[in-house]
Amino acid sequence: MTAPTIAPPERSAATAIRQRLLTGSVVGPLVALLIACAFFATQTDRFLTGGNLSLIIQQVMVVGTLAIGQTLIILTAGIDLANGAIMAFGTIVMTKLAVESGLPPLLAVLAGLAVCTAFGLANGLLVTRVPLPPFIVTLGMLNIAFALTHLYSDEQTVTGLPPELTALGNTFAIGDTQVTYGSVVTIALFLLFAYLLGQTAWGKHVYAVGNNAEAARLTGIRTNRVLLGVYATAGLVYGIAGLLLVARTGVGDPQAGQTDNLDSITAVVLGGTSLFGGRGLILGTLIGALIVGVIRNGLQLIGVPSIYQILITGILVILAVTVDQISRRRVK
């Protein structure tokens, strides 16, 4: 069921299907992921090993986490072009404060998370209070965060990080497989937001605002407050993505994240979330991110140049949106 305030009282079979389509389904993306995995497993025996699967999760954790924030925003019929740049600024804040200003690592991380949350909040205020279209707000913020990153970092990669900053890159063993703590954080975040979106009133309000903001407002949902919360939460999540990035690469890199805005949108779309808002599941986004990671890793293992991964991803995005459009039309 979606927002209880707008749900129709009767429960016919047609309504059930309609409800289901309004929130989306992960069946399509999941089938695509499994087929891709099956394909690569038949091509090379190096694909389906614990170590390699763990590696794929590590490789998608940063974009995957960014895509959590992106999903929240897209569910409200918005878009965030600035998430990679905000994350990059967060990583430079964390690493510079810890290395050069000698701040305790935990405080440096908190400062980085706070900065990212502030960026998200600023986006939310501009979208709700002025109000401006999310595309324009985040396009502006993309440039602002990019410039601040390069100014503050003085174009220098920050190295020599204290071990606390890269702790999420450490591993523990499940059987013979080494898994990073960062991968666990990413999965846990996905589960947390799946719960928040699916089981709480807040989640239902997010879907309602994305479906029809005016109708949601008339039913008593404070749409601006929901939007502000979504953008600020997304900012915080970008900060966590930044911490994961630092853990993964072991440095603070001012060049990082330049294509991550589009990569995160790709994951959201491949996961079956509608760019028109109000429909989609956060776990679909995880699957979308994994599809990209599996194709990249699998093609590399069988010796296909990385450019083909980009080609295939492009085609998949268009196919995924086509599927979304066709199923939307049928619902109507």
**Residues within the interface to another protein (CB under 8 A):** 17, 20-21, 25, 27-29, 31-32, 35-36, 39, 43-46, 51-52, 55, 58-59, 62, 154-157, 159, 245, 248-251, 253, 255-259, 295-308, 310-312, 315-316, 319-320, 322-323, 326-327, 330-331
Query: Considering the complex, what minimum distance in angstroms separates the CB of residue 217 from another protein?
Result: 28
Asked if 167 and 181 touch (Cβ cutoff 8 Å), the reply is yes
Closer CB to another protein, 210 or 298, in the complex: 298
Q: How many whole angstroms separate alpha carbon 200 and alpha carbon 282?
A: 14
Looking at beta carbons only, is 124 or 293 nearer to another protein?
293
List, in sequence order, every residue forming a beta bridge with 174; answer none if it has no partner.
177
Indicate the residue among 199 and 306 with the shorter CB distance to another protein: 306
- Residues facing residue 172 across a β-bridge: 179
Helices 181-199 and 50-75, interaxial angle, to 10°? Answer: 40
Cβ nearer to another protein, comparing 205 with 248: 248
Four-residue CA torsion sign, 104, 109, 112, 118: negative
Smallest gap from Cβ 115 to another protein, in A, equals 20
CB of residue 130 to another protein, shortest distance in Å: 32
Q: How far is the CB of 138 from another protein (least distance, A)?
A: 20
Shortest distance (Å) from residue 252 CB to another protein:
8
Give yes or no for a contact between 185 and 242, defined as CB atoms under 8 angstroms apart: no
Quote the Cα angle for 224-129-281, to 5°: 40
Q: Which is nearer to another protein, 52 or 212 (CB)?
A: 52
Picking from 234, 199, 219, the residue whose alpha carbon sits closest to that of residue 76 is 234
